[in-house]
């Protein structure tokens, strides 16, 4: 329906509020299409040539818009939703890569898979490096976004980053020592996801409550269980604590 309506397009007489609402609906559909189509193994409905719409603007500016405001005098930077959208395009390729691994038998294919994983890791690292100073994950920015009433979306942004990274490196939990760095990255991101989810639950104004938080917590937990069973002895206490924290988070989510 959104495609038939050409939803992201701006029409004559639109104030600034109208196009921004259209952008937010369109990009929400785009993210859902990437997540659920990839997860179910179905073709995506929104093609890459349909995603020319500008990214959603900064949340605090959007919330302060006047209904009659016609335009801005200065360029607008993307908000948290804008930063959430940009790494979603990696979700499909990561899922496709994990599916390929299930059928690979030849060493030459293994080499191609490692190269693909490495290329995707560079794109993820590049996305994190490109974050502006007020979007990076640190204690100061957690407080800033909490006070701006955007603490939940800010936490969700970084939960997503750790989830994508965990998925990318998941295949390397049980491989030879030659790829040990990817194994440790998988464990690192699974633990970081757990730590951030725990912190957000314990601090008012930072709680991220939406369906995929539970799904991502289960993926994180599966890595933590692997560490608990097969990891080095010094990793076990931390893995156990993180696993307990994820379980507590899942129990809290159950009420919704």
Residue 103 lies in a domain: yes
- For 63-88, what is the mean pLDDT? 78
Same domain (yes/no): 107, 207:
yes
Residue 114 lies in a domain: yes
Same domain (yes/no): 18, 132:
no
If one counts the domains in the chain, the total is 2
Residue 239 lies in a domain: yes
Q: Per-residue pLDDT for 107 more than 60?
A: no
What pTM, to 2 d.p., does this model score?
0.88
Same domain (yes/no): 128, 100:
yes
Structural domain boundaries enclosing 117: 87-254
Q: Please write the tens of the pLDDT for every residue from 162-199.
A: 999 999 999 888 876 657 889 999 999 999 999 999 99
Same domain (yes/no): 28, 140:
no
Q: Which of 85, 115, 104, 95 is nearest to 23 (CA)?
A: 85
Q: Please write the tens of the pLDDT for every residue from 225-250.
A: 999 999 889 999 999 999 999 999 99
| pLDDT for residue 180 | 85
């Amino acid at each position: 329906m959104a495609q038939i309506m050409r939803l992201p397009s701006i029409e004559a007489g639109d104030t600034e509020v109208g196009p921004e609402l259209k952008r937010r609906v369109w990009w929400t559909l785009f993210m859902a299409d990437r997540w659920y189509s990839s997860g179910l193994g179905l073709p995506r409905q929104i093609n890459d040539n349909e995603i020319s719409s500008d990214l959603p603007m900064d949340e605090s500016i959007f919330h302060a818009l006047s209904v009659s405001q016609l335009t801005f005098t200065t360029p607008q930077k993307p908000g948290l939703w804008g930063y959430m959208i940009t790494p979603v395009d990696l979700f499909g390729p990561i899922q496709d890569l994990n599916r390929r691994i299930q059928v690979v038998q030849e060493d030459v294919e293994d080499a191609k898979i490692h190269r693909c994983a490495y290329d995707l890791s560079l794109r993820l690292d590049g996305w994190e490096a490109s974050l502006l100073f007020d979007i990076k994950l640190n204690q100061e920015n957690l407080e800033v976004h909490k006070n701006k009433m955007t603490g939940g979306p800010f936490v969700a942004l970084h939960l997503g980053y750790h989830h994508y990274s965990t998925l990318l490196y998941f295949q390397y939990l049980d491989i030879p020592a030659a790829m040990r760095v990817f194994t440790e990255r998988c464990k690192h991101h699974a633990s970081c996801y757990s730590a951030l989810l725990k912190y957000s639950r314990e601090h008012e104004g930072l709680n991220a409550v939406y369906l995929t938080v539970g799904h991502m917590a289960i993926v994180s937990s599966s890595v933590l269980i692997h560490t608990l069973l097969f990891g080095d002895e010094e990793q076990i206490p931390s893995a156990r604590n993180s696993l307990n924290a994820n379980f507590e988070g899942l129990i809290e989510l159950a009420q919704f």
